[in-house]
Structure 1
Amino acid sequence: METATISRHDFFRLVGTSVGVILLSNCSMGCSRQENSGPTPVDQKVDFTLRLADQANENLRVKGGYVIANDIIVAQSKEGKFIAVSANCTHEGTQLTYKSAENQFFCPLHLSRFDTAGNVVMGPAAKPLVQYLTVVDMAAGTIRIHS
């Protein structure tokens, strides 16, 4: 019985192509735009107050800083305005960060971006974040977040 042979060059070319196809197909399925994919942000009744003097909220004392409390990301823009939106990406629920240089909320997993009103700037996320109202009382050193 005769055994078929393949050159080393052809073998590695076929293996590389096969691995590439597998990786790309998994990535494209994970990042595809599907209307029903990802968590739906819950527009829940929210009403809580953050004290700027608390160590957990010290990042809010500086422009560009942010904290996450009660599944809401609260940030101080580089202009000094306080903004609050749901803290998880609507694509797959990854916790967001705030990029003050771009004045946007950013998903570190698949790179979705949202503006300060929670609107999608760049996908794969297709659904907006929930935006919450902020009331700042600098005399009392508090920020009230509510729906």
Structure 2
Amino acid sequence: METAPISRHDFFKLVGTSVGVILLTNCSMGCSAKGGGDPTPIDRNVDFTLRLADQANENLRAKGGYVIANDIIVAQTKDGKFIAVSASCTHEGTQLTYKVADNQFYCPLHLSRFDSTGKVLMGPATQALVQFVTVADTAAGTVRIHS
């Protein structure tokens, strides 16, 4: 059985549609929960101190700045308070950022949002972040983070 040649236009239309289906399938699979649920955040005993004078922590000197240390994101709010939560999104483990304007932690991969205590505000994440206690000592220029 002999088939008629396909036109160039029809060929590219067919290829484009096929590529689109493959990309959409991979995207939807990537956004689905793997293993039947959200990963469990690591809840552990934590006790460490950040020196604000250290170059690695210089972002914490400014309101709205944040750093990630020991898998914990530590931020200074626009009110000057220090807050700390686990640094990985509970949806798929992506490293979070801090948005000072909203006083929220934000996942850049699937757009989950968490309030300053780690509570989920917007999914796909459904599990809260682990919150840690922060104690700032302005005279010593340090911030202690502990369980």
TM-score when normalising by structure 1: 0.89
Q: Which residue of 2 aligns with 1:10?
A: 10
SS in 1 for 2:50: strand
Unpaired runs of at least 5, structure 1:
none
**Offset at residue 37 of structure 1 (A):** 4.1
**Offset at residue 88 of structure 1 (A):** 1.1
Matches within 5 A, 1:21-100: 21-33=21-33, 36-100=36-100
Identity of aligned residues (%): 79
Query: Residues 118, 108 of structure 1: CA spacing in aligned structure 2 closer, same or farther, 3 A cutoff?
Result: same
CA distance in 1: counterparts of 2:35 and 2:80, whole angstroms: 35
Query: Residues 144, 36 of structure 1: CA spacing in aligned structure 2 closer, same or farther, 3 A cutoff?
Result: farther
**Offset at residue 129 of structure 1 (A):** 0.8
Query: Residues 24, 105 of structure 1: CA spacing in aligned structure 2 closer, same or farther, 3 A cutoff?
Result: same
Matches within 5 A, 1:106-117: 106-117=106-117
Q: How many residue pairs were aligned?
A: 147
**Offset at residue 43 of structure 1 (A):** 1.1
SS in 2 for 1:57: helix
The answer to whether the 8 A contact 1:37-1:92 is kept is no
SS in 1 for 2:135: strand
The answer to whether the 8 A contact 2:120-2:127 is kept is yes
Unpaired runs of at least 5, structure 2:
none
CA distance in 2: counterparts of 1:24 and 1:126, whole angstroms: 23
Provide the alpha-carbon RMSD of the alignment: 1.8
Once superposed, which parts of structure 1, at least 4 consecutive aligned residues long, lie more than 4 Å away? none
CA distance in 2: counterparts of 1:37 and 1:9, whole angstroms: 44
The answer to whether the 8 A contact 2:33-2:92 is kept is no
**Offset at residue 72 of structure 1 (A):** 0.5
CA distance in 2: counterparts of 1:35 and 1:135, whole angstroms: 37
